[in-house]
Amino acid sequence: MSNLKYALFTGCTARESTPELMSSTLAVAKKLGIELVLLDEATCCGASHLQDFDEFLSIVMNARNICYAEKHGLDMVTICNTCQLNTAEAKEKLDNDPELKARVNEKLAEVGLEYKGTSAVRHFQYALIEDYGLDAIAKKVETPLSNYNVAPFYGCHNIRPSHLHKDANMGENPYNPTSLDRLIEALEGKSIQYEDKNSCCGFHVELQAPKTANRLSGSALLGAKDADADMMVTPCPLCQIRMDVQQHNISKEVGRETHLPVLHLPQLIGLALGIDQKQLGLKHHVTEFKAK
């Protein structure tokens, strides 16, 4: 596989609370020969909250982010499900509403930018599977994950609403997603089946409704644990940080010890590709992961 090149919209968490997502993404891309151009100009996507306050502003800021991918003449990849949702939602609105696009471009013109709609927006997970290919990834495996039972946790914003994502996520069925399972199998791990793999972790109400968030996360973590998972893996850093950092609170809420390491998808891929654990940033996990 050669010549894969994307503009990487890192989002905020990869540059702050989950530095391991940044380092593992870059390490996996390098190992696979995928070129990622960092969009350092990009701002926060608004994380599905800014739109609650000012919807137009949220669209303008996301349009601006996409402009920088367009400037490079590259498709954009995201490494956070919520970045993916917000960027894709803004793009869908802009591409289907010429009047809105004109209004947004009027603002962007003030800073010398123009949204054209020429760059596709996909989560890196799907770029890997669709463009690089599972077979090609399987061929690169150096340390098979055959010792591990891995519980995939898809994260809401890569799979719902399906009509928005269908071109970006290979038509994933939101009620029965399989891409992460297939990826885990390609790395020779065992993908664990449990009810909550496509459920919500509750991240977005963590501050105002911790009980809701902890019950949702707890249900997923315990479901995975009861299905004999050694770890959980997710493409979304918001799911990851919630379920990695908050396990003491989650355990309290659900009345059972949840202890389960939660890995970012590129960390799991990196383990199988034989990338040094230091580069994968495993030391940043609150719920520690120990290699078998």
Partner 1 sequence: MKTQTITFNVFRFNAETDYLPYYKNYELEVGQDDLVLDILNRIKWEQDGTFSYRRSCRHGICGSCAIKVNDKPVLSCKVNVLELVEQFGTELTIDPQDKSRAIKDMVIDKKNFWEKYDAVKPYLIADVEEHPDKENIVSKDEAEQLLEADYCIQCGSCVYACSALGVNEDYLGPAAFAKAYRFNADVRDEAKIERLEIVDELGSGVWDCVKCNECAEACPKEVNPIEKITKLHNQLFAENVAAKNVASKHAVGFKHSMEKHGLLDEGELVRYSEGNLGVMKHIPEAITMFRKGKIVLPWNMPKSKNLDEVKKLIKSSSTVEEYKGSK
If the CB atoms of residues 143 and 212 are measured against partner 1, the closer one turns out to be 212
Specify the length of the chain in residues. Answer: 292
If the CB atoms of residues 40 and 135 are measured against partner 1, the closer one turns out to be 40
What is the rounded CA–CA span in Å between residue 70 and residue 90?
15
DSSP code string of 71-120: HTT--EEESSHHHHHHHHHHHHHHHH-HHHHHHHHHHHHTTT----S-S-
Size of the residue set binding partner 1 (CB under 8 A): 65
What is the phi/psi pair of residue 283, to 5°? -70, -15
User: Does 102 interact with partner 1 (rule: CB under 8 A)?
Assistant: no
If the CB atoms of residues 188 and 257 are measured against partner 1, the closer one turns out to be 257
What is the rounded CA–CA span in Å between residue 71 and residue 68?
5
User: Does 179 interact with partner 1 (rule: CB under 8 A)?
Assistant: no
User: Does 42 interact with partner 1 (rule: CB under 8 A)?
Assistant: yes
Instruction: Find out whether 158 and 123 touch, Cβ atoms under 8 Å.
Output: yes
User: Does 18 interact with partner 1 (rule: CB under 8 A)?
Assistant: yes
User: Does 46 interact with partner 1 (rule: CB under 8 A)?
Assistant: yes
User: Does 15 interact with partner 1 (rule: CB under 8 A)?
Assistant: yes
Q: Between residue 52 and residue 71, which ones bind partner 1 under the rule CB under 8 A?
A: 52-57, 60-61, 64
What is the strand order of the sheet 76-78 is part of?
Answer: 35-38, 5-9, 76-78, 121-123
The pattern of x and - marking residues 212 through 251 that bind partner 1 according to CB under 8 A reads xx-xx--x---------------------x---xx-----
Q: How far is the CB of 27 from partner 1 (least distance, A)?
A: 17
Of the ranges 123-131, 133-141, 198-206, 257-265, which one interacts with partner 1 (CB under 8 A)? Answer: 198-206
If the CB atoms of residues 236 and 272 are measured against partner 1, the closer one turns out to be 236
Q: Between residue 132 and residue 161, which ones bind partner 1 under the rule CB under 8 A?
A: 156-157, 160-161
User: Does 197 interact with partner 1 (rule: CB under 8 A)?
Assistant: no
**Tokens coding 21:** 């997502």
What is the rounded CA–CA span in Å between residue 86 and residue 94?
12
Q: In sequence order, which residues have a C-beta less than 8 Å from that of residue 244 and are 6 or more positions away?
A: 261, 262, 285, 286, 287
Instruction: Find out whether 155 and 239 touch, Cβ atoms under 8 Å.
Output: yes
Judged by the rule CB under 8 A, the positions of this chain that interact with partner 1 are 12-13, 15-19, 40-44, 46-57, 60-61, 64, 85, 107-108, 110-113, 156-157, 160-162, 173-176, 199-200, 202-205, 207-209, 211-213, 215-216, 219, 241, 245-246, 283-286
